[in-house]
Amino acid sequence: MGVQLFLTHTFFGRAVLAVAQDQLALRLMGVNPVRVKELAFALSIATAGVAGAFLIVIQPVQPSIGREYIGLVFAVCVLGGMGSIWGTLIGALVLASPNPSRPLSSGRRGRRRYPSACCSRRSRSGPRA
């Protein structure tokens, strides 16, 4: 929320939007577009770092940690709208509702179990009588 307010109510936020739309007009206003891009990139790296720090609390770190979340994050952004923080929050709440196709926590860290009727059956060896 703080980043959204920062980008919508400051000169830097307007400059980020302007550099995305028309770099020449931004340069004519006396702002260096390369510097704005560098600062926007630094802000995005810092935001990703904070998100990663919060994610470490949920599960252990491994190289493929983002693969579980990338589809859900993309769906939240598309459902909520690309330019609206409130739409994104509502999209996240809609997609966070209970869903039987997602894995359930088994109580042990790092392990997940999937709800399925076939998992509770035991296989027999040999012919059935």
d(CA 115, CA 31): 56
Q: Give the residue ranges of DSSP H helices in the chain.
A: 2-9, 11-21, 23-28, 33-58, 70-80, 85-95
pLDDT averaged over every residue in the chain: 76
How far apart (Å, rounded) are the C-alpha atoms in residues 116 and 121?
10
pLDDT of residue 35 exceeding 90: yes
Q: Residue 87: CB partners within 8 Å, gap ≥ 6?
A: 79, 80, 81
Predicted TM-score (pTM) of the model is 0.58
pLDDT at 113 over 50: no
Q: What is the pLDDT of residue 43?
A: 93
pLDDT band of 101, cuts 50, 70, 90: low
- Considering only CA atoms, which of 76, 52, 74 is closest in space to residue 63? 52
Taking the CA atoms of residue 32, residue 37, residue 38 and residue 43 in that order, the dihedral angle to the nearest 10 degrees is 130
Which residues have a Cβ under 8 Å from the Cβ of 114 and sit 6 or more positions away? 103, 104
**Angle at alpha carbon of residue 53, lines to 51 and 55, rounded to 5°:** 70
Indicate if the pLDDT at residue 42 is higher than 90: yes
